Amino acid sequence: MVLRFYNTLTRKKEEFRPQSGNEVRMYSCGPTVYDYAHIGNFRAYVATDIIRRYLKYRGFKLKHIMNITDVDDKTIRNSREQGMPLSKYTEKYTKIFFEDLDTLNIERVERYPKATDHINEMVDIVGALLRKGYAYKGKDAIYFSISKFPSYGELAHLEKAQLKAGARVKNDEYDKEHAHDFALWKLWDKDDGDVFWETSIGKGRPGWHIECSAMSMKYLGPTLDIHTGGVDLIFPHHQNEIAQSEGATGKQFVRYWMHNEHLMVDGQKMSKSRGNFYTLRDLLKGKGGPDKPGNTAKPSGHDPMAIRYLLLASHYRQKLNMTGEALKSAKQAVDRLREFVSNARDGEDGEGIEGIAKKAKEGFEKAMDDDLNTPEALSVVFDFVREANKAGAGSRALEQMMDFDKVLGLRLSETGEWKKPEDAPEEIRKLILDREERRKQKDWEGADKIRDKLGGMGIILEDTEDGPRWKKTT
Ligand code: AMP
Ligand code: ZN
């Protein structure tokens, strides 16, 4: 079977082959660590996680980089407002970002370089662009001159005429030759405070676009196999990354550009500036969520794996509307998979399970090979659940489901395994021990009440010769 990805550059699905052997050099635009990321941002990171996991599933070796933007207008502004050094401020939100990745079971990529650790590499690229005549010095910044780069606009499929029209309208506002010329290096001004670097190209700080070119090429070389990001980054960010990188190296920068569509709320892109966003923590703690506009308190939080499911169950190139209804059905879907796993752990494979599993595996791979068609792949998984349940699901069926979950990442392996009381979360352990105590005192009614209470929490108990054991059912 052939793995095909939709390439934004060519607007076509193309067979994917890395440039060298089995190794995939992949770069994903990462967060600007000035605040909590919102759940829309996590749609982008989950989409990237699915690409990553599926490439691994298909046997590729990954060299995957995601940058951390820890210097820009917003990080400088916020850290100054809070009277904190920039590095301390961004450290806090970087830590929060990693915690959120773990909550959503988003795999760590091979490396997370920080922009402030790569100033020399950025200065080198800007120096090369100045020497080659692609860049010029303005009063407030060093700019990239887009008119020197003939294919500018190609990724975004912008016509030269559109770019020219922009130039006429906007030209006066800037100290640059063309409205779409962009800053490679921003010369220091007083709003930057103590955030600057003394370099051969002047005292200042990098523009945002150059950060990605410098960090991607440092770790992956001049040509990347895959570059990902949300569709809002196609123009100007990714277009500018191409211009800078190819201007400096003379080589093709990226072979496959992959962009995820947006997470929407009421027909609009979820974004900080619109204020229509939820952070992951809002949804987990029950502080609001799409089913409770206005962030009013909600009695119970959402299940992180239901949030992950919602984000991955739509095709990454389709807009996805965030609603309370959608979250609810995502939760039901995940619970069905958990129930299947839980039953299969104790069940016996029926006749024909091998064929059912094989057919499902083929269907799953066919869907994923076709530009990561997750909705189709999930429908194969649910057909598998139905058919395996009918035939009888045991260890072979379980093994197949765990194989799917390498790609889906819904933590299904944590479901339904019998565990000892000491491995339970605090609250559950206390209830189990309390029940033991009551049984010792022959308070059967009290013991049963606790068993029921645990049942309501998705925990079932079994009494064995070695004492009670428990497992999750949902
Ligand atoms: P930012 O921190 O704004 O640079 O965004 C980080 C990543 O999230 C980028 O890849 C964006 O394209 C992506 N992104 C931002 N908003 C959304 C959204 N509503 N839906 C999906 N992806 C988004
Ligand atoms: Zn970037």
Is residue 416 scored above 50 in pLDDT?
yes
For residue 261, give the ligand 1 atom closest to its CA: 21
Amino acid (one-letter) located at 302: H
Amino acid (one-letter) located at 250: G
390: number of Cβ within 10 Å: 11
How close are the terminal C-alpha atoms of the chain, in Å? Answer: 35
228 lines ligand 1 (CB under 6 A): no
Q: Which ligand has the nearest atom to the CA of 29?
A: 2
- CA dist 393 and 279 (Å) reads 38
Confidence grade of residue 295 (pLDDT, cut at 50, 70, 90)? very low
pLDDT digit string, tens, across residues 208-226: 999 999 999 999 999 999 9
Q: What are the C-alpha distances in Å from 130 to residues 110, 115, 134, 205?
A: 32, 21, 6, 16
pLDDT digit string, tens, across residues 161-197: 677 655 543 444 557 888 899 999 999 999 999 999 9
Q: What is the mean pLDDT of residues 279-285?
A: 87
Q: What is the mean pLDDT of residues 246-262?
A: 98
- How confident is the model at residue 290, as a pLDDT? 59
Give yes or no for a contact between 183 and 146, defined as CB atoms under 8 angstroms apart: no
Q: Which range (259-273, 277-291, 362-376, 448-462) has the least confidence?
A: 277-291
Q: Which residue's alpha carbon is nearest to atom 15 within ligand 1?
A: 41
269 lines ligand 1 (CB under 6 A): yes
Q: Please give all residues whose CB falls under 5 A of ion ligand 2, grouped by chain where several chains appear.
A: 29, 212
- How confident is the model at residue 166, as a pLDDT? 54
Domain ranges of the chain: 22-260, 264-412, 415-473
* Site of tokens 């645990």: 454
Confidence grade of residue 294 (pLDDT, cut at 50, 70, 90)? very low
- CA dist 216 and 245 (Å) reads 10
Q: What is the mean pLDDT of residues 121-132?
A: 98
Q: Does domain 264-412 have CATH number 1.20.120.640?
A: yes
Q: What is the mean pLDDT of residues 260-270?
A: 93
> At the fourth CATH level, which superfamily is domain 22-260?
HUPs (3.40.50.620)
pLDDT digit string, tens, across residues 130-164: 999 999 999 999 999 999 999 999 999 887 667 76
Is residue 288 scored above 70 in pLDDT?
no
176 lines ligand 1 (CB under 6 A): no
- How confident is the model at residue 287, as a pLDDT? 57
Tokens of 378: 């999930």
> pTM value?
0.89
Q: Which ligand has the nearest atom to the CA of 93?
A: 1
- CA dist 308 and 47 (Å) reads 10
